[in-house]
């Protein structure tokens, strides 16, 4: 075997186990608690962000009750805050903090909701200031407008249902193959009373190839939303 090829083979054999044990590899494999544990105090930005994402997915898809959901959202927020402190100019760090807070807002009282809603918007705005084509941040803003306006709080924050679809259209244009964004667009259209358009987005989410276990989790939720629409 030529020397150069031998080195490549050896390097590949060394890297594959390392990747499998990384927070990112564990996240993609669906080993969510292990991904959080591996990445939460890591020295690399991508690993800390994978820990935050894994904890958020645990809260959304794999928690037995509200107490467990809140525990995992606290962990997601903890990892995201660590990323923001250490890498303040990383757009994804600010997005992950907004993402954790957006899920957490359902479980807190009125005063905490007011504070969190402002912080979510600030972190999404900061994400887009650092990376204007951040597709998930456009999605996050769309959901921010949707949730606050639906709760009758739009007037206080400047949130509007009219902003939801344009923001999702931006998000899908930037990331047309994102299962998560398509799934959430479908959810938003259901909330807006547009079931036929929702059906199309959810069907698109299900037609896209799943690249990893998080994608499969999002597709399972898309299927549940689609089933809820009936025939």
Domain co-membership, 60 together with 168: no
* Judgement on whether residues 50 and 90 belong to the same structural domain of the protein: yes
- Is the pLDDT score of 193 beyond 60? yes
Residue 70 included in any domain? yes
Same domain, 201 and 101: no
Residue 104 falls inside a structural domain: yes
In a domain, 96, yes or no: yes
Domains: count for the chain:
2
Per-residue model confidence as pLDDT tens digits over 92-102: 999 999 999 99
2 lies in a domain?
A: no
Give the C-alpha separation, 138 to 148, whole Å.
16
SS3 90: coil
- Are 56 and 99 a contacting pair, CB within 8 Å? yes
Q: What is the CATH number of the domain that holds 32?
A: 1.25.40.10
* pLDDT higher than 50, residue 191: yes
Residues 146 and 111 in one domain: no
- Asked whether residue 34 carries a pLDDT value surpassing 90, the answer given is yes
Say if residues 156 and 112 touch (Cβ distance below 8 Å): no
d(CA 87, CA 67): 30
What φ, ψ does residue 87 adopt, rounded to 5°? -130, 70
Q: Is the distance from CB of 143 to CB of 102 less than 8 angstroms? A: yes
Domain boundary among 96, 129, 162: 129
Given a cut of 70, whether residue 211 has pLDDT beyond it is yes
In the prediction, which pLDDT does 113 show?
Answer: 79
According to the model, what pLDDT value does residue 26 have? 97
Q: State mean pLDDT over 80-105.
A: 96
- State which of 129, 155, 183 marks the end of a domain: 129
- Do both 14 and 123 map to the same domain? yes
Asked whether residue 27 carries a pLDDT value surpassing 70, the answer given is yes
Task: Please check whether residues 61 and 146 belong to one and the same domain.
Answer: no
- What pLDDT is attached to residue 153? 75
Band of pLDDT at residue 24, cut at 50, 70 and 90: very high
Instruction: Give the model confidence (pLDDT) of 140-175 as tens digits.
Output: 999 999 998 888 777 778 889 999 999 999 999 999
Please report the pLDDT score of residue 180 as a whole number.
98
Contact of 190 with 155, CB cutoff 8 Å: no
pLDDT band at 17 (very low <50, low <70, confident <90, very high): very low
The reply to whether 1 falls in a domain is: no
Residues 30 and 113 in one domain: yes
* Predicted pLDDT of residue 50: 98
Q: Which residues contact 59 (CB under 8 A, 6 or more apart)?
A: 68, 69, 70, 72, 73, 76, 103
How far is Cα 217 from Cα 3, in angstroms, rounded to an integer? 43
26 within domain boundaries: yes
Residues 64 and 45 in one domain: yes
Residues 11 and 125 in one domain: yes
Domain for residue 105, yes or no?
yes
Contacts 24+ apart (CB under 8 A), 148-151: 148/117, 150/191
Residue 185 lies in a domain: yes
Q: Which domain holds residue 139?
A: 133-231
pLDDT (0 to 100) of residue 108: 78
Distance CA 222, CA 182 (A): 8
Indicate if 108 and 141 belong to the same structural domain: no
* pLDDT confidence bin for 8, thresholds 50/70/90: very low
Residue reference for tokens 């669906």: 30
Residue 99 and residue 67 in one domain: yes
Compute CA 143 distance to the chain's CA centroid, rounded to the nearest angstrom.
12
Query: Closest Cα to residue 142, out of 92, 185, 174?
Result: 185
Q: How many other C-beta atoms can be found within 10 angstroms of the C-beta atom of residue 225? A: 20
Entry pTM: 0.89
For residues 17 and 123, membership in a common domain is answered with yes
Which tens digits make up the pLDDT trace of 47-77?
999 999 999 999 999 999 999 999 999 999 9
Chosen domain end from 129, 145, 179: 129
């Amino acid at each position: 075997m030529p020397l150069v090829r031998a080195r490549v083979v050896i390097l590949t054999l060394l890297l594959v186990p390392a990747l499998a044990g990384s927070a990112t590899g564990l996240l993609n494999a669906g080993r969510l608690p292990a991904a959080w544990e591996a990445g939460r105090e890591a020295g690399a930005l991508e690993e800390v962000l994978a820990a935050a994402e894994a904890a958020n997915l645990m809260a959304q898809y794999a928690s037995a009750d509200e107490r467990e959901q809140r525990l995992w959202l606290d962990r997601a927020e903890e990892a995201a805050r660590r990323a923001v402190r250490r890498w303040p100019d990383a757009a994804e760090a600010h997005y992950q903090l907004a993402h954790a807070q957006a899920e957490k807002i359902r479980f807190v009282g009125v005063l905490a909701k007011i504070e969190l809603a402002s912080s979510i918007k600030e972190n999404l705005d900061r994400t887009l200031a650092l990376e204007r084509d951040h597709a998930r941040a456009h999605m996050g803003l769309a959901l921010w407008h949707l949730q606050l306006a639906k709760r009758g709080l739009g007037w206080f924050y400047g949130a509007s249902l009219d902003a939801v679809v344009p923001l999702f259209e931006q998000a899908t244009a930037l990331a047309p193959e994102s299962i998560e964004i398509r799934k959430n667009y479908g959810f938003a259209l259901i909330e807006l009373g547009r079931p036929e358009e929702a059906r199309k987005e959810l069907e698109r989410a299900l037609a896209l190839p799943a690249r990893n276990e998080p994608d499969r989790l999002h597709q399972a939720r898309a299927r549940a939303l689609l089933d809820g629409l009936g025939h």
